[in-house]
Structure 1
Amino acid sequence: MPVIRMTLIEGYDHETRRALATRLTDAVRVTIDAPLDGITVVIEEVQPTSYMRGRVSRAPGMPLPSPSATVRAFLAAMEARDLDRARGFLADGFSMTFPGDRRFSALEELVSFGRQRYRFVRKTYTTFDECFGEGGMIVYCFGTLSGEWPDGTPFFGKRFIDRFEVDGGKLTGQLVWNDLAESGPT
């Protein structure tokens, strides 16, 4: 059974160490046929003064926020139309692609487009799934949309899936699929 040993510089909190151990366990599970209870992760810590690279003692890197928490906070800021706060979650070069291959690079473009489609929209989340991607983490969020069409007619139960790319705690891209593209006011 696999045993993974990791050495960290002292200073990481319990939650960060647990996230590392969980992700290492998951990486083994999807790479080799090992039972979950057969995968062991051991984290050892050393004092910063006992760690040196290039003749320089190092400090631990800052823990990153949960990718799903970053996505949730961004989406909450967008729903509240707090574009300044939402922009704080974006990496340089962030882009969004919505149904109909509509592409946006600025949040104001998306808001302007949305005004033509609906008065308001809210998301109800069913699930957030995280997976590793080449450039960081991928977060999928699933759920339903509710709101009002421009004429005031309410809508609800419209399915959506958002796929976010998260690197270094920042959002680098978003792809959106939803049933709004297939429906409109009746």
Structure 2
Amino acid sequence: MPVVETHLIEGYTPEEKKRLMKALTDAIRFVVPAVPEAITVLLNERPVCDYMRGGSLRTPAPALPDPSAIVMDYLRAMEARDLDRAGMHLGDRFAMVFPGTGEMTSLTQLIEWAAPRYRFVTKSYEGVEALQGEQSAIVYTRGTLAGEWPDGSAFSGIRFIDRFEVTGGKITRQDVWNDIAETKGKK
């Protein structure tokens, strides 16, 4: 089965190297029908002093942050209504679209739009998937929503899926799909 050998300048943490090896394994499985256990990934590290490009010694670029961790911290901050922490994860050109909305560009717009629709929402996650797109990392979260309608009655079990674009360690886009309108209409 496949063996992938990668050369890397030393300086990455064990966690960063583990993320890289998992990403390489996943990339192979995208094309080759192999179980993860059948794929071998080898990292060969070279000391910084052994690497030169363009006639100059170089150091490795810092690893990008895990886009799934960025998205999940943003979502936890939003659920806690910690808008300052959530906002730290957003890029300068952030845009989001929720069911029935046009493009919104601030968390304040989202809070104002949501206020007449429900008192609060919590999410239970069934999956978080990340992949690299051409320009951004793409992160999908999916699961169910629970919370309270404006009249105080509870709801739960409403399906959702969110798609995020993460560029340079910041969320630049969020698209949301859910069945909240279908469920509210049956209330």
**Normalising to structure 2: TM-score of the pair?**
0.90
* Paired position in structure 1 for 2:165: 165
Q: CA RMSD in A?
A: 1.8
Asked if 2 retains the 8 angstrom alpha-carbon contact of 1:160 and 1:177, the reply is: yes
For 2:50, the equivalent position in structure 1 comes to 50
Partner Cα distance (1:68, 1:34) in 2: 24
AA in 1 matched with 2:144: T
| Aligned position for 1:124 | 124
* Map 1:44-83 → 2, pairs under 5 A: 44-83=44-83
Question: How far apart are the structure 2 equivalents of 1:120 and 1:37?
Answer: 43
Corresponding residue number in structure 2 for 1:8: 8
Q: CA deviation at 1:168?
A: 2.3
Distance 1:33 1:151 in 2: 52
Distance 1:161 1:36 in 2: 26
8 A Cα contact 1:100 1:181, kept in partner? no
SS class of match (1:184): helix
Partner of 2:114: 114
* Structure 2 residues not aligned, in runs of 5+: none
Equivalent position amino acid for 2:122 in 1: R
Sequence identity of aligned pairs in percent? 51
Distance in 2 separating the partners of 1:35 and 1:78: 37
| TM-score w.r.t. length of structure 1 | 0.90
* Other-structure match for 1:18: 18
Instruction: Write the distance in 2 (CA, Å) between the matches of 1:155 and 1:47.
Output: 56
| Deviation of the 1:37 alpha carbon | 4.5
2:86 and 2:57 map into 1 onto residues whose CA distance is 36
